[in-house]
A and B are shown apart, each in its own frame.
Chain A
Amino acid sequence: TQLLEQSPQFLSIQEGENLTVYCNSSSVFSSLQWYRQEPGEGPVLLVTVVTGGEVKKLKRLTFQFGDARKDSSLHITAAQPGDTGLYLCAGSNNFNKFYFGSGTKLNVKP
């Protein structure tokens, strides 16, 4: 089993602040995905990164895959209350089976 550690576990910030959450592993992954999950719902895919050093932007969200493909970060600029949710990273080595991290629970206060 390949472990993905996410930090921080919990993050509570004011609207307008910037934040970064991290996803780290000792294993190398062929691809890594970030999801957002709302209570009572399934995870919703935000992005997939497959190349070491890759940076992808989705509006105010910036995702980076580490050069060694062992870690990733998600940066949110000017957070809004609508960004509140559980952010999960998931890594795969065979494009078929993903290992999920425990998630970062983000709360953005208005």
Chain B
Amino acid sequence: EPEVTQTPSHQVTQMGQEVILRCVPISNHLYFYWYRQILGQKVEFLVSFYNNEISEKSEIFDDQFSVERPDGSNFTLKIRSTKLEDSAMYFCASSEGMAGLNEKLFFGSGTQLSVL
């Protein structure tokens, strides 16, 4: 089965530093997403991306966050100046069509971000 690949699996950073989380979605997929899960809490939507632009973002996705698909294969999430509360597991996901229209949504294994 094809899979979404995320790197690194763990990232430790100092508060105020920039981090880039990387994802390689499944190759024929057109819709891309970032979700996060703070320890012990629900999985939360951050952003969806289609046709090289953000199609929707949540209130969590403020000016400190950005996404990019720089080369047609990678999909990155950048946090410009990390805060302690950004510590979470970040999941990338992709789907061939819009996820809710009976299209299968594939999640990566996540990047555990720890901000010290």
Contacts and interface: CB of A to CB of B under 8 A. Distances in A.
The interface residues of chain A, by DSSP majority, are classed as loop
A107 to B, nearest CB: 18
Nearest to A30: B100
Contacts of A92: 99-100
B42 A100 contact: yes
Size class of the contact patch on chain A: 20 to 34
Interface string A42-55: 11110010100000
A50 B42 contact: no
Contacts, number: 67
A55 to B, nearest CB: 15
Contact of B99 (A88, A96, A101, A102): A96
B67 to A, nearest CB: 14
B44 interface: yes
Interface of B: 4, 31, 35, 41-45, 48, 55-56, 58, 91, 93, 98-110
A102 B108 CA distance: 19
A100 B107 contact: no
Interface in A56-99: 88, 90, 92, 94-99
B17 to A, nearest CB: 25
B43 A90 contact: yes
Nearest to B99: A95
B101 A95 contact: yes
Given A92-B99, A94-B100, A95-B98, A41 B105 contact: no
A44 B44 CA distance: 15
B102 A96 contact: no
B109 A41 contact: yes
Given A43-B43, A88-B43, A96 B98 contact: yes
Contacts of B101: 31, 50, 95
Closest 8 pairs between A and B when the two form their complex, measured CB to CB:
A42-B107, A95-B100, A31-B100, A100-B43, A92-B100, A95-B98, A97-B45, A100-B42
A82 to B, nearest CB: 17
